[in-house]
A and B are shown apart, each in its own frame.
Chain A
Amino acid sequence: MALLDIENLSVSYGSIRALRGISLKVEPGEIVTLIGGNGAGKSTTLRTISGLLSPQEGQILFEGKPIASKSPHAIAANRLIHVPEGRGIFANLTVEENLRLGAYCRKDTHEIRQDYEHALELFPRVKERLWQLAGTLSGGEQQMVAIARALLARPKLLMLDEPSLGLAPQIVQLIFQVIRKINAGGTTILLVEQNANLALQVAHRAYVLEVGKIEMSGPAAELANSDDIRKAYLGGH
């Protein structure tokens, strides 16, 4: 059974139709990436899955259960975690408090502690800044906090929206290494990325979204070699 199974999903903002009946599946243990141009509806897809938007039609099954009508906090409590575009960190809280909120729905204090140490190991930079107000961090630092925080929820499915946005090359590499590591540790990942080159490198499978529709899908390596994709998204080389 697929971990996440989306059937014929449509979403609108007022009169603007952002998604026009998309279907996609994420199997346990996979990294699936969603690529597409500006305004294609990638973020909208993630927001709908995590309950921030409600679909007009279609259904979303997570672990076989429908979640489309659930509220975002209930979905997060099911360990379907969304790191939104723009990072979604709490600027008025310290880095440490931000991280702790990641584990808001968990009660297993001891293991939280372990995960906390683990997350800080992944991002030593964050560790230096634990007491700083998160709002004063630089963009890259904020992205690290956002991912570290998501890990503290021990997600079954982690949805990342443009994690490399505004990050230095080195950090981008780091983030993608972390994505691999997390995945190797058993976490399923749904990745939205503008940096299609990198995304297709780490992902197992990929979907291409254009103006609210799935245009193409398949194993990531296959898509990376498709001429159309290269021309449209990878800079033509």
Chain B
Amino acid sequence: CQSRVASTDEIVIGHFGSITGSEATFGISTDRGIQLAIEEVNAAGGVNGKKVRLITYDDKGDPREAGSAVTRLVTRDQVTAVLGEVASGLSLAAAPICQENGVPMISPSSTNPKVTQVGDMIYRVCFIDPFQGSVCAKFARENDKIKATKAAILCDQTAPYSVGLQEEFEKAFTAGGGTIVSKQAYQAGDQDFSAQLTSIRASEPEVIFIPGYYTDVGNIALQARKLGLKVPMLGGDGWDSAKLGQIAGDALNGCYYSNHYSHEDPSPRVQNFIKLYQGKYQETPDGLAALGYDAARILFTAMKTAPSLSGKDIAAELAKTTGFEGVTGVISMDANRNPVKPAVILEMKDGTPRYVATIAPGE
């Protein structure tokens, strides 16, 4: 068991995430990203000469556990800052605790707008649902290869991420003149999508929007192709994982997803991260790992420049973030503590995502 109060020569930060339970893979990826960032910063001499130590608590993907884990981090372990969670529902449970105790919290990948609305201690490094939804809708309406007017949606009704993205996509897509011809739902982990896909097939869409996680999308793609659904599929950053290509293979050829960055991006910050990650964990990082890594690094940067390590100072510094060169894009915080950064569109080709386009906010 770690010491209760941080000793003066180290900085303790906390991470709460789902490292057991259904969503374990998300929490584990994020944790690995964070660990990597910490190793990196400690190797470079730490933050202002102090080593950074991470305490990770499991929340099983359960909002109630998230609450107690964060209370423990904030009040017992007295961490300087908190990182987490992937799922918006869990971040929302934890955010008020951080806010109340004046501890900055950065969610790596909760996309629901509400999360940062909790207060000025709460930040994130991923883009929010409305932005990504409109990016996807715009792409679906305007891309030459798709030019869709009729879209179907297949949404994970258990994941707020998925539901949120679906709503924003629907708004933007219909605002852009398209129609949603079919809306179907599944539950994370479902194996059989034939009823939904058969239904979608009958509605004859030109594109299928699947705002889900890669863990399900591969399966959906396989079954869609089996049923003879040939239209392109489109998704959000939840797709980003090497696993997706492995599972779906060429079933996803000609499908697109929006993401924070492209693995092909030649810039050293991306390539370096991928190399480091592969070296440490023998696997390709997914989007969640990259976001975890960025969240940690943004935090360190703010700590370095902040006048003191008090929560207030760090938060103030975080708010000032502009042009931070993260793996997941160049990040500036807006007034709502959400990052302003462009999205990239990737196309799946034989199991690997290829860069297609960049869409900046406000475009």
A touches B (Cβ under 8 A)? no
